[in-house]
Chain A
Amino acid sequence: MIPTQALFGQLLIGLINGAFYAMLSLGLSVIFGLLNIINFAHGAQYMMGAFVAYFALQWAGLGYWPSLLIAPVVVGLFGVVLERTMLKRLYHLDHLYGLLLTFGVALVVQGLFRNEFGSSGLPYAAPPQLTGGYNLGFMFLPTYRGWVVVCSLVVCLTTWYVIERTRLGAYLRAATENPTLVQAFGINVPRMITLTYGFGVGLAALAGVLAAPIYQVNPLMGADLIIVVFAVVVIGGLGSIMGSIVTGFGLGVVEGFTKVFYPEASNTVIFVIMALVLLVRPTGLFGRTT
């Protein structure tokens, strides 16, 4: 018999991991949809978000709340510069080139941070408003963890709404299909591409700030996570917005439960699911079969 405390504890850990999987795979999907770039730098950009929060506190005394805004903007601008100077030269080439460039950027960025800060984590405290927790009767819920899950859900669903239900989102969807024609209607598509990349990268940085109090700030925090996130993206179907969100949370929970019922498989269960999904639906669970 599995104790309820352990079950719900793992469910919560699964939801937390899922919150990060969802935010990161969402950004990857949006970027891939419009830019045709598989952004391997996503994990490094997530880590940069956590470090910007850390620097803001160390150097300027700016705490968690301002960092939720500062880190996505700073890292998003880094993404905009990267897109303007490098990525835009690759759009007419095979996916592989974008993957190689962003993978290289990730290695350089992670290497620089590791030289400077080593690979042990730097502590980053949760804001005082979010410390403590609630006893829900069947389990103890740390406030900060609940906040992360809610925050991720709000960000993901807002992004989904903007893309699927607004005029701006219609431009984005249309430009994903046929950028030439959308530009011929009078839309500045190159600028839209730059901003979309900046947004996706900013989303990764926001996830990084949210992660800092849970996992500490570590130069390799993104490198560890991004492999799983790519598996999530493959399972959900690259380019599908809702697919990324549902698969991200779903797989986090599956992973959590695996820890309870068969801990030996908890590190591999997502990859096993990926292999099975690829066998049955090569475009992913939510991918368009075109």
Chain B
Amino acid sequence: MRERPPLLAVRDLHAWYGESHVLHGVSFDVHAGEVVTLLGRNGAGKTTTLKSVMGIVARRRGSITFEGRELVGRTSNHIARLGIAFCPEERGIFASLNVEENLMLPPQVRPGGLSVAAIHALFPNLHERRRSQGTKLSGGEQQMLAIARILRTGARLLLLDEPTEGLAPVIVQQIGVTIRRLKADGFTILLVEQNFRFAATVADRHYVMEHGRVVDAIANAELDANMGKLHEYLGV
């Protein structure tokens, strides 16, 4: 199964915010078609890892390859054009754009993205509220919009930063359904989560981060056997 090289390979990644050294040699792989989570406490470096892959954290060292191409040294607009899309933790819905403009904003970087009709079928609320100001949507709808708009672009690797944060359980379930649906459609997803119960319902594998490093890797099937260890890592 694993003879093919990974879609995304991160090796000895270091990253800095200004003077503060946040990532200290992160290494992990994501294979095509997988849903992989980065678990860990606040400040472990999960979001920084996503932002480093995307090129939003500019000061980074080590190696990140996507389909064999090196990403370290490229700016985020070039990285996006290679077929990676990012959904930020704060969702990043634009207040000066309506729902439709928010949805249509990210340019298509490759053929094969979801059509607008398919996106509206997946998220009917976005169609009903397409003329509303983006930030007038509820938190759950904004999260749907933030995910929806990167599905149009043709990007095959989606970086989702805590998509369930602060949302009601019924919305979290809906996001779970969406992620499994996207996986079935062949998307590859790298997911940052604090909520490992949610992560367990969608992911193939989990990496645990601590102090800017990956300290453990757990297959989803082995999650139950490792529950004690995981509680210790996450402090829950």
Contact = CB atoms under 8 A, between A and B. Distances in A.
Interface of A: 167, 170-171, 173-174, 176-178, 180-189, 290
A290 B54 CA distance: 29
Given A185-B85, A186-B153, A189-B77, A174 B105 contact: yes
Given A180-B56, A185-B107, A186-B106, A173 B97 contact: yes
Contacts of A186: 77, 80-81, 106-107, 109, 153
Q: Interface on chain A toward B: helix, strand, loop, or mixed SS?
A: helix
B77 A181 contact: no
A185 B95 CA distance: 17
Interface of B: 54-56, 75-77, 79-81, 85-86, 88, 92, 94-97, 101, 104-107, 109, 150, 153
A170 B81 contact: no
Would you list the 9 A-B pairs with minimal beta carbon distance, nearest first? Answer: A186-B80, A185-B106, A173-B96, A184-B76, A181-B92, A174-B94, A170-B101, A183-B77, A186-B81
B20 to A, nearest CB: 17
B88 A181 contact: yes
Contacts, number: 57
A185 B105 contact: yes
A34 B75 CA distance: 19
Given A174-B96, A177-B96, 20 more contacts: A173-B97, A174-B97, A177-B95, A178-B92, A181-B86, A181-B92, A182-B105, A183-B75, A183-B80, A184-B55, A184-B56, A184-B76, A184-B77, A184-B79, A184-B86, A185-B106, A186-B81, A186-B107, A187-B107, A189-B77
Contacts of A176: 96
16 contacts: A167-B104, A170-B97, A171-B105, A173-B94, A174-B97, A177-B96, A178-B92, A182-B105, A183-B75, A183-B77, A184-B54, A185-B77, A185-B80, A186-B77, A186-B81, A189-B77
